Amino acid sequence: MTNITLKVNRHQYSLDVLPWVSLLDALRDRLKLTGAKKGCDHGQCGACTVLCGGKRILSCMTLAVMKDGSEVTTIEGIANGDELHPLQKAFIEHDAFQCGYCTPGQICSAIGMLGEGKAHTRDEVKELMSGNLCRCGANVGIIDAIMEVREGGNRE
Ligand code: FES
Ligand code: FES
């Protein structure tokens, strides 16, 4: 066991983990933060995406011990109290989820992507979000929601 500290959604945690435990399992099983989903567990679907130091990462492909001392944000930490994040609101407005399984990863990934500042067009947003799969066909709504927030951000 290795003792690590993680700051998750503004709370400090100290936990003992085995060296091979993924960040996803640590979040879900140990911290009971089940927003990040285990889709493929192989880095292929994006359902487990969380933000680490503001950057999007696949928590299924990340060992918890690698993130010792890091700051992690999961979907549970995205809203500002009762006030939903603009992307959460836009997802609701654009019917951007059906089963909702991919949604936490999509939203975390979109926040990370917008922070990267590389997406300038709808096609670029699509390309940069291509690591997040939705099996339900909500993709158009997802991209619409992200575009709305991206363009809203530009007007500010
Ligand atoms: S669960 Fe991590 S990429 Fe699919
Ligand atoms: S809404 Fe069902 S997988 Fe995306």
For each of the chain's 156 residues, which pLDDT tens digit applies? Answer: 999 999 999 999 999 999 999 999 999 999 999 999 999 999 999 999 999 999 999 999 999 999 999 999 999 999 999 999 999 999 999 999 999 999 999 999 999 999 999 999 999 999 999 999 999 999 999 999 999 999 985 444
pTM (2 decimals)?
0.95
Q: Which atom of ligand 2 is nearest to the CA of 96?
A: 1
List the Cα angle 75/77/83 in 5-degree steps: 100
Query: In whole angstroms, what is the distance from residue 134 CA to residue 103 CA?
Result: 8
Q: Which atom of ligand 1 is nearest to the CA of 49?
A: 2
108 lines ligand 2 (CB under 6 A): no
Q: Which of 40, 101, 107 to mutate to test the pocket of ligand 2 (most atoms within 8 A of CB)?
A: 101
Question: Are 108 and 144 contacting, i.e. CB atoms less than 8 angstroms apart?
Answer: no
40 lines ligand 1 (CB under 6 A): yes
113 C-alpha vs ligand 2 centroid, how far in Å?
19
131 lines ligand 1 (CB under 6 A): no
User: Residue 81: left (phi > 0), alpha (psi -120 to 50), or beta?
Assistant: left
Give every CB contact of residue 139 below 8 A, 6+ residues apart in sequence: none
